[in-house]
Amino acid sequence: MTKMTDAPSVPVDALDTAAHTPPQPEAWVTDGEGVTRREVGPGQRASNEQPLGGTLKERVEDFLVDEIPSYDPVGDGEHLYLGVQKSDMPHGEMMAVLARHFKVDESAIGFAGMKDRVAVTRQSVSIHLPGRTAELTGAFAPLEHGRMQILWSKRHLNKLRRGHLKGNRFSIRVRGVDPLGVRQVYRSMQALERVGVPAYFGDQRFGYRRNNHLCGLSVVLAQPKMLLDELLGSKGTPFPPRQLKMRRLYEEGKFTEALEGWGRNDRSERIALQALARGRDAAGAVRALPEYMKSFWVSALQSAIFNVQLDTRVREGSYAGHVEGDIMFKHDSGACFQASDAAATELDERLRLAEISPTGPLHGKGMLPPTSRAAAMEQDALSACGVTLEAMTAPCATEFTGARRPLRVFFSNWEVEGGVDEHGAFIRCVFDLPKGSFATVMMRELLGATVASIDGRAIDTEQS
């Protein structure tokens, strides 16, 4: 074994139909005519080196994730913090299991981030248990579940909120590669450690049909029927043929019959159909959906716009540089400033030292806007995703805010090794990434590695 370490339905004409379409299996179907979507997942790789390829997540245990918390619980308060390990489990199922076990609504459960579905992950969650002293002190019934464990528990004063983490540590085995290619990967990691990895949002942000951002667009535009048609109907984004029957039943208004075809992991589809079957209108069915899911869809729309803009920056070679009107990000403090406030030579040096990076938009209220050429590029990305700046800043039933996101991300504490185990050859990469970063994007940049699929359906549909 060679080992190397280093220390420390949206109208089609509203979209850019000239762009390449998402990588959906040829056998997938839709009753819609001429439905063409722009690909909004990770765009152009920054590396010009021929990729080694390989496959991620062939086995669940090949992808390990450990959350790096921002703080430790203090041992007092009415929120019970839990260390949860889950294996091959979607985030929604974890939430449902915890809600049933502790007999609380899902809104009482807090988490810092959604972890990969096809992986073994460890993270903190919080459960609000006011007045339930015995459970708060650890006297709760053992959780018996084949794919989920509670590792520890401790009280804290506040709910765990999205973003309350420093990052995640990953240990990833890539299959289907020559382990001797580890030397190329090592050189690539050395280079990327200096210049940074394009900070694309990963494919899993957009769901297995790559349409979460279209659901988010419906939420932002306050179009509940449009959302349900995309989620449940047969005329939107292509889908596996096995879903055709229940999607046509939805189109016919046969909601109870349509419900029977969806599985336990299709939570949003089931909740919406149950509401429709009980007589609610489209708006009522959308209100019945979990708020975290609607927020996730809106976040996917923000992510799509960001990815389109970053793809342009990578293609022109400016994702690690600056253009006129840029907003820059300080990596030490997280603060942003106008590039025009500093001399070009100063910006170049600070970019080289990885002190700062240019940013892209996460559109919403409160986002610091760029000017000049940077603003024009961001407007082009909005148009490509079929939405306006006005819509992204208007009041919305699902609240969201705007922010700036650096166009590149830096990893740390990395090592890489190549070898063979009982399941075959592999290259294993270990590294820490800051919150909001995607390990699948990192591996795609390093090796061109892709996520495995089952029967044409991407097996991972969640955020890293």
Per the domain annotation, does 153 fall within a domain? yes
Check residue 292 and give its pLDDT.
86
Per the domain annotation, does 133 fall within a domain? yes
CATH code of residue 118 = 3.30.2350.20
Check residue 19 and give its pLDDT.
33
Q: Give burial (CB, 10 Å; 0-12/13-18/19+) of 10.
A: buried
Last residue of a domain, one of 103, 138, 162: 162
Other CB atoms closer than 10 Å to residue 390's CB: what's the count? 8
Strand, helix or coil at 298?
A: helix
Number of domains in the chain: 2
Check residue 451 and give its pLDDT.
81
Q: What is the DSSP string of 51-101?
A: P---EE-SSGGGEEEEEEESS---S-SSEEEEEEEEES--HHHHHHHHHHH
CATH code of residue 375 = 3.30.2340.10
Integer Cα distance of 276 and 260 in angstroms: 13
Last residue of a domain, one of 135, 162, 189: 162
Are the CB atoms for 436 and 188 separated by under 8 Å? no
Q: Which two tokens stand for residue 344?
A: 């070009």
Per the domain annotation, does 380 fall within a domain? yes
Per the domain annotation, does 18 fall within a domain? no
| pLDDT, one tens digit for every residue, the chain (464 residues) | 333 333 333 332 333 323 333 445 668 999 988 666 778 999 999 988 889 999 999 999 999 999 999 999 999 999 999 999 999 999 989 999 999 999 999 999 999 998 988 999 999 999 999 999 999 998 999 999 999 999 999 999 999 999 999 999 999 999 999 999 999 999 999 999 999 999 999 998 998 899 999 999 999 999 999 999 999 999 999 999 999 999 999 999 999 999 999 998 899 999 999 999 999 999 999 999 999 899 999 999 999 999 999 999 999 999 999 999 999 999 999 999 999 999 999 999 999 999 999 999 999 999 999 999 999 999 999 999 999 999 999 999 999 999 999 999 999 999 999 999 999 999 999 999 999 999 999 999 999 888 864 333 444 544 43
Per the domain annotation, does 379 fall within a domain? yes
Buried-state track 125-160, b at ≥16 Cβ within 10 A, e below 16: bbbbbeebeebbeeebeeeebeebbbeebbbbebbb
Other CB atoms closer than 10 Å to residue 284's CB: what's the count? 14
Per the domain annotation, does 187 fall within a domain? no
Integer Cα distance of 427 and 4 in angstroms: 11
Strands 55-56 and 450-451: parallel
Cα 256 vs. chain centroid, distance in angstroms? 31
The residues annotated as belonging to the active site are: 116
Last residue of a domain, one of 137, 162, 187: 162
Strand, helix or coil at 189?
A: helix
Q: Which two tokens stand for residue 451?
A: 């996520």
Per the domain annotation, does 430 fall within a domain? no
Per the domain annotation, does 106 fall within a domain? yes
Q: Give the range of the structural domain holding residue 125, as residue numbers without chain letter.
A: 71-162
Are the CB atoms for 206 and 81 separated by under 8 Å? no
